[in-house]
Structure 1
Amino acid sequence: MTPQYQIRADYDARTIVVYQAYADAIADAALCAGRFVPPFSFRRMTWIKPSFLWLMHRSNWAHKPGQERVLAVRMTREGWEEALARSVRTTADPRAVAQAAVHLQWDPERSVRGAALNHYSIQVGIGRHLIRTFAEDWVVGITDLTPQVRKAAALVRGGRTAQAQRLLPTERVYPTPGSLGAHLAPTR
């Protein structure tokens, strides 16, 4: 049985992949530069998600206006864990949330068809005071997954979810250090 709150991600010894969806102009500029550059906004929070299927739910498989392009953003695990350590849950005291450099929330994980599951995925909002560090120091690569997403979405719409599943990134339990795990656990 899957624990209710657990980070699952595509990662290696040094990096973790998080997903974001953007409009063409932002995605094209980032892919061309190999990093986030304008028109990406350095003045607002950006949400990163290690769950590919949660982003598919959020972006409607890259069909939502302004979210037509899906990017796999490879970032350092050191940066990821720093962001988690600096995070405040969005359900905390509003003053603490307003002052936080990083917001964190747990949302129901999604199936390939978009149904809410009985366990949760983490979302991390990098605030404007930390966003340049994210974009310039933590991000080590950006890949356009849009063609893969469109193919998988067509398979899901056609009822061929097993074939679509084979196109999805492999995610496994992320080994969160003990003290960080306690910090991330939702309050009951």
Structure 2
Amino acid sequence: MPLLRRIRADFDADTIVMYQAFGPAITDAALAAGRFVAPFSFTRMTWIKPSLLWLMHRSNWARKPGQERVLAVRITSAGWEQALSQAVLTAPVPAIHGSAAAWSTAFDAASVHVQWDPERSARGAALNHYSIQVGIGRALIRAYAEQWVVGLTDLTPTVHKIDALIRAGQAAKAQRLLPPERPYPLDPATARRIQADTA
């Protein structure tokens, strides 16, 4: 039986890649500075995703207004794991939270939110396993933007090329341009906290 909730990502010993889509103003400023700066918002939650195809589904291959540019955001593994260790799921799970009231209290106080959504194929079909998205709240967003980020890459030309290949029926060529996402190891306590499968 396939794993339902497993983090899949492009990572190495010290870093992991997240994907985000923004409008040109935020993207250009971030690329020029090498990190997130205004007009990136430091006062509202920012959502990061380790699955490029999930983000492509969400942004309609960088065609939605305000999501026309795609960044690969390489962050420290330490920052990523710090975020997950503080995360609260966006819906209550009795085995984790106990009562709905206890979850609500924890959720309202949480600096990080975690949500699982069906992973997507290159053509946008829902798959039988889930992809994680992580909301970094105001308490940690400065750390994310100014300490965890170690590299920003504009993937917009690449995702446009992948999309064009898929539309042209050249799925195999498109697949070769996708990043190498593989299961990310989690310690048992963090996995339980975010309802992730570990084996």
Could you say whether these structures have the same fold, taking a TM-score greater than 0.5 normalized by the shorter chain as the test? yes
Q: Which residue of 1 aligns with 2:163?
A: 153
Alignment match of 1:134 (pick from 136, 144, 152): 144
Could you tell me the TM-score, scaled by structure 1's length? 0.96
Looking at structure 2, the residues matched to 97 and 159 of structure 1 have their Cα atoms a distance apart, in angstroms, of 44
Q: Would you say the 8 A contact 2:88–2:193 is kept in 1?
A: no
Paired-residue identity, %: 66
Looking at structure 1, the residues matched to 65 and 183 of structure 2 have their Cα atoms a distance apart, in angstroms, of 31
Could you tell me the TM-score, scaled by structure 2's length? 0.91
Q: Which residue of 2 aligns with 1:86?
A: 86
SS at match of 1:129: helix
Provide, for residues 59-115 of structure 1, a one-character-per-residue CA deviation record: whole Å limited to 9, x for no partner. Answer: 101001100000000000000000001000000333322221000010000000000
Looking at structure 1, the residues matched to 2 and 80 of structure 2 have their Cα atoms a distance apart, in angstroms, of 22
Matched ranges for 1:100-179 at <5 A:
100-179=110-189
Matched ranges for 1:37-116 at <5 A:
37-92=37-92, 93-116=103-126
Give the ranges of 4+ consecutive aligned residues of structure 1 lying more than 4 Å apart after TM superposition: none
| Stretch of structure 1 that moved more, 140-149 or 155-164 | 155-164
Q: Deviation of residue 128 (structure 1)?
A: 1.2
Looking at structure 1, the residues matched to 167 and 110 of structure 2 have their Cα atoms a distance apart, in angstroms, of 40
Looking at structure 2, the residues matched to 53 and 94 of structure 1 have their Cα atoms a distance apart, in angstroms, of 31
Looking at structure 2, the residues matched to 23 and 97 of structure 1 have their Cα atoms a distance apart, in angstroms, of 29
Looking at structure 2, the residues matched to 128 and 173 of structure 1 have their Cα atoms a distance apart, in angstroms, of 28
Q: Which residue of 2 aligns with 1:7?
A: 7
Q: Would you say the 8 A contact 2:29–2:39 is kept in 1?
A: yes
Partner AA of 1:184 in structure 2: I
User: Greater Rg, structure 1 or structure 2?
Assistant: 2
- Provide structure 1 residue ranges, at least 5 long, that are not aligned to the other structure: none
SS at match of 1:11: coil
Provide, for residues 108-154 of structure 1, a one-character-per-residue CA deviation record: whole Å limited to 9, x for no partner. Answer: 00000000000001100000111001101111111000000000011
Q: How many equivalent residue pairs?
A: 186
